[in-house]
A and B are shown apart, each in its own frame.
Chain A
């Protein structure tokens, strides 16, 4: 005990701990400066955008800020009957200001997300509001269109009062908050996102399985062949890496289309009739084939790096101890490759789940993934907050898979190289 409590001093009488800290401070600063550029790069390109996405996906301030007085007045409204004059007056005041700033169009778009039918009545209100007289705004606004006299529309406005919302996430799962404030699913024929999520999981899963089935023998060959052959094979595996993704996808289009090389070959050997060429592109098959080929190296490399470390004498030992070649493989070799299988599958699955360009080009309608939907909302509908919400759902899905993997296999069991 005494040795623990007694302070050790250096020869100049300074406590050893203090001297040690002083001596190591310089090294710590140096080490920090070395990683600082990467740290800043990551913060700017990774932490900040994801934070921004998270914020955007729940941010609903726009309407809150456009109608501040209305929402203030609505605080006393119970939502059962039409609101009273106070609310209408506040709404009119907010609306006039928006018209002056020419922002009423944005309001109509936003409110239309919540309930269809706002676009036209806001346009009408803008025109009518120029002739409004002072006082009794309730009557005047209600007379513009019968929907303004419908309590449902006022409830819809009230639902936009909070600054944050989960509705984008609900929409991503084909759900919404109905008039009573309950979370319900949309009608069956309007559910598009659930199908996409399931299809994304399905395609990612099967692409992972196909990659594994094809990569395992290749990786084994790579690890066991003599150097001069394995180098050549390695180049073949890596060649796709050195070719542009677009070029590779485009070449699959040439190969797989109905008048393409593969179909010509099938017709040539009499496998299919000329007038009955199978569609291998613009559907799931196209996505499967092209994604498997493109993601194959991500499976081969971790497997190879693990197999390279397995001594060939282990298989020999298995055989010399009486195991048939299959038993030796299954009991000895295969269990040792599990870290590589885990790494490869995780890598391919995560890449496949967020794959975009290839399914967009060869997937057609039935082969597109959730990422294509995200891109669609980024580029076409400009509903960035919805795109962000779906992006984050994808990200959390990946994190869940990672967590599951850690529970089942153990993340320290992973080996990438």
Chain B
């Protein structure tokens, strides 16, 4: 069976709460069947609103959402058959774990023995067998989260929405839950739409990530592409660490451009600049710049070390380079790099295709 390319489709969706400000602007988004798509963005970027519209708790002001080819704007939430995991778990505190999981099955009038089988299966999926008779209050945060995940999957929905489900967990638990949710997704092949503001979570778990800002999807692509090839400076700065130079294009030819920064020209990869004289912001990942570079690199400049921060496996070095004193380098801690000292001048080099000349904003 071929998987549908547009299993979930946002078609020109606008959303406004007060009739003055658009929270979501002209959203166009297709989600493939079985895909794990993350909506990532700062708070207030409209990602949760999109999720709520998909779940049916908000209605689009304009446009239509399609689920499996059907327009769903007029279908109430309880008829959409979409599983949902909420930010604060939203387990029913007066019901046992078993009753929580039985709730969606009972309202669907599934016979008890069949329901029991489904509940057992769902609980073993999140490795919580034997917890069926506990109350949610007797569980730890991580266990409650697993119950919430199990509950959202127990009635075999086609689509599961997760609204920052790991936000309340501590760092270690969050990381292990990320893998757990990812594995569950891989095992049962359900379509997942996940909302988070934590980029490492998004990068770890997703097939594709939609970066939201200002009510718009800035970029929708796979995690590696998002990190390596951001299409605008918002994405470049929002995802991962980033060194930026603001300058003006002085020449553009042969797939490269010269950008004038602090009276020095550097070579960059023109992504969103077209011609001479345009303002641009160059984005360069810290790990793409090297100290003591080999001669093949087409950008080699010299800067002064301003700060050295030890991070165990690597050292972060802040350098004043071409008038930017926030230039960060990540240097692996090996014996070859022992001469990094505060105040020293060093040479730094990078390839021009890693320096992406993006929009100036």
Contacts and interface: CB of A to CB of B under 8 A. Distances in A.
A283 B278 CA distance: 88
Interface centre among B57, B79, B82, B83 (most CB of A within 10 A): B57
Contacts of A311: 88, 90
A313 B87 CA distance: 9
Interface centre among A317, A323, A324 (most CB of B within 10 A): A317
Interface residues of B, number: 28
A331 interface: yes
Contacts of B98: none
A314 B92 contact: yes
A13 interface: no
A268 to B, nearest CB: 41
Contact of B104 (A313, A314, A322, A335): A322
A321 B86 contact: no
Nearest to A331: B103
B65 interface: no
B104 to A, nearest CB: 4
Contacts of B104: 321-323
B84 A317 contact: yes
Contacts of B171: none
Nearest to B163: A313
B171 to A, nearest CB: 24
A203 to B, nearest CB: 33
B88 A313 contact: yes
A319 B78 contact: yes
A323 B107 contact: yes
B94 A336 contact: yes
B77 interface: yes
A10 interface: no
Interface string B79-107: 11111101110111110000000011001
Nearest to A334: B94
B90 A316 contact: yes
A246 interface: no
A1 B56 CA distance: 62
B7 interface: no
B244 to A, nearest CB: 39
B350 interface: no
Contacts of B103: 318, 321, 323, 331
B78 A322 contact: yes
Contacts of B80: 320
Interface in A314-346: 314, 316-325, 327-328, 331-332, 335-336
B151 interface: yes
Contact of A320 (B82, B87, B88, B108): B82
Interface centre among B78, B93, B94, B155 (most CB of A within 10 A): B78
B55 interface: yes
A311 B93 CA distance: 11
Contact of B78 (A314, A324, A332): A324
A319 B84 CA distance: 10
A318 B79 CA distance: 12
B77 A320 contact: yes
A313 to B, nearest CB: 4
Contacts of A328: 78
Given A325-B78, A328-B78, A317 B107 contact: no
Given A327-B107, A328-B78, A331-B103, A320 B83 contact: yes
Nearest to B103: A321
A314 B103 CA distance: 12
Interface in A25-41: none
Contacts of A324: 78, 107
Contacts of B82: 320
Interface in B284-343: none
A137 B80 CA distance: 101
A317 B86 contact: yes
A319 B52 CA distance: 12
Contacts of A332: 92
A162 to B, nearest CB: 54
A313 B77 CA distance: 13
A18 to B, nearest CB: 39
A35 B87 CA distance: 43
Interface in A292-318: 311, 313-314, 316-318
A328 B90 CA distance: 13
Contacts of B76: 319, 325
A331 B57 CA distance: 19
B235 to A, nearest CB: 30
Given A323-B103, A328-B78, A317 B87 contact: no
B88 A319 contact: no
Contacts of A323: 78, 103-104, 107
A322 B103 CA distance: 9
Given A319-B78, A320-B82, A313 B155 contact: no
A319 B77 contact: yes
A319 to B, nearest CB: 4
A316 B89 CA distance: 11
Nearest to A324: B78
Contacts of B56: 319-320
Contact of A322 (B81, B87, B161): B81
B94 A335 contact: yes
B356 to A, nearest CB: 40
A313 B86 contact: yes
Nearest to A316: B57
B55 A320 contact: yes
A313 B90 contact: yes
Nearest to A327: B107
A320 B78 contact: yes
B44 to A, nearest CB: 18
Interface centre among A316, A319, A320, A331 (most CB of B within 10 A): A320
Interface in B57-88: 57, 76-84, 86-88
B77 A316 contact: yes
A320 B107 CA distance: 11
Interface in A256-282: none
B348 to A, nearest CB: 49
Nearest to A323: B107
A62 B107 CA distance: 71
Contacts of A331: 92, 103
Contacts of A322: 78-79, 81, 104, 107-108, 155
B88 A321 contact: no
Contacts of B107: 321-324, 327
Given A313-B90, A320-B77, 17 more contacts: A311-B90, A313-B87, A314-B92, A316-B90, A317-B84, A317-B86, A317-B90, A319-B78, A320-B83, A321-B83, A322-B78, A322-B81, A322-B108, A323-B78, A324-B107, A327-B78, A327-B107
11 contacts: A317-B91, A319-B76, A319-B77, A320-B82, A321-B78, A322-B78, A323-B104, A324-B78, A325-B78, A327-B78, A331-B92
Query: 5 tightest A-B contacts by CB?
Result: A321-B104, A317-B90, A320-B84, A313-B90, A319-B77
